[in-house]
Amino acid sequence: MTENASKKAKLGGPPVFANRCSAVLGLQWGDEGKGKLVDILANSMDIVARCAGGNNAGHTVVVPKDGKDYKYDFHLLPSGVTHESCTNVIGNGLVVNVPELFKEIEHNKELGPHIEGCESRLKVSDRAHMVLNIHKVVDGMKEDQRGVDKIGTTKKGIGPTYSSKATRNGVRICDLLGNWDAFEAKVRALYEQYNRLFPSLEANAEDDIEPHKQLVEKIRPLVCDTFVVMQDALAANKSILIEGANATMLDLDFGTYPYVTSSSCSIGGALTGLGLPPQSIGEVYGVVKAYTTRVGDGEFPTEELGDVGAALQKVGHEYGTTTGRARRCGWLDVVVVRYSCKINGVASICLTKLDVLDGLDEVKIGVSYKNGDALYEYSMPSSQKEMSECEVEYITLPGWKTPITDVRKFEDLPENAQKYVEKVEELCGVPIRWIGVGPSRDATVQLF
């Protein structure tokens, strides 16, 4: 054996992890119900970690206690925060609005008892970039300037913050906790740049400097190098759940660009957003609504603009957790789901809100797109123009016209509901592991 070969044998190959991370990712345009699945799985997890996005995300979690359901709204907080035994990580891939983080904590404390003391189990990355007030102002201004070509941004400042990160003039959490004069200089420089780019802006750096000065010592105990937290947890064989935000069809690279978010919300973002090696990823769980919704503008091939879309919106309470905007609704699109499953290597699916279809006489599933000679079954057109020219091919199944909210076993579902689930599973080529039949934690059918 040569000296180099001997050295390589002694050091070993890539790391092997006895207990790999699980991940929960949305496979449509967001709002699939990821928070509910994370809440269910978090009970057996040591760590729940967010990896991308900011407070543009909105996860609703309904938690029972003493015969009462408590409804929480999370935007930056990981959905595992309701579990006292679980450490919750806000990773380096997020952009953090510090004042809004503390408002979110206080707001959810008012909603129920599960959030009390959550600060002691919350870790915020010192590498995460900060969403400043100037980012929010610029976000709204740029969106208004687009006129009829609006993207549908939440105007939370997420895109401009990621832009600052990419152009290397962003402000990070570690800057906030470092030398104050240096932090203040960075903030003022950012304001000066934006004021040059947008002369009508008239923004004042004091709008950010003073509020953050009041929060330095409040956030300090929460901040750490979350890369070390994650690596130590892997080394100790801790159970880790990665909570995705937004969804694959909003991914900056693979989504319906430009009507997307500003971060990588597919599985690749979990690695870069938390500092994890590829070998550490185990099961990827994809969350899919039993129909399709999206907020904001952009192509939506299976959208229903008539009575069906209105019924889905009403029965499904389809209004955004973050913005309150009405969601556009349509039939399930398995082209989208197949595409997202392949990108993320999905092992099993959580099919949510099946109960919303209870009152329909028939249900449709979009199974492919056609555009001239082009056929799309598991890939997506890259341009919005081409997608707008596609015709969707549907199959139609009979409805079940029976309430299913109290069902907890698959065999107790109405026959037509079972057939719908089985057909979705067949079309997607990925097993369905959970079925959501209501908003609360226990309104779930687990198949395996």
Instruction: Exactly one of 31, 251, 297, 333 is catalytic; name it.
Output: 31
Closest Cα to residue 295, out of 264, 266, 259, 337?
Answer: 259
pLDDT score at 143: 78
pLDDT score at 259: 94
Any catalytic annotation for residue 31? yes
Any catalytic annotation for residue 59? yes
pLDDT tens for the chain, residues 1 to 448: 566 655 555 666 677 777 799 999 999 999 999 989 999 999 999 999 999 999 987 888 888 888 888 999 999 999 999 999 999 999 999 999 999 999 999 999 999 999 999 999 999 999 999 999 999 999 888 877 777 666 777 788 999 999 999 999 999 999 999 999 999 999 999 999 999 988 888 789 999 999 999 999 999 999 999 999 999 999 999 999 999 999 999 999 999 999 999 999 999 999 999 999 999 999 999 999 999 999 989 999 999 999 999 999 999 999 877 677 899 999 999 999 999 999 999 999 999 999 999 999 999 999 999 999 999 999 999 999 999 999 999 999 999 999 999 999 999 999 999 999 999 999 999 999 999 999 888 999 999 9
pLDDT score at 64: 84
pLDDT score at 139: 87
pLDDT score at 378: 96
Q: At 378, phi and psi to the nearest 5?
A: -140, 10
Instruction: Exactly one of 59, 114, 135, 212 is catalytic; name it.
Output: 59
pLDDT score at 19: 76
pLDDT score at 9: 52
pLDDT score at 2: 61
Dihedral angle of Cα 310, 314, 317, 323, to the nearest 10 degrees = 50
Report residue 202 as tokens. 């008239």
pLDDT score at 289: 98
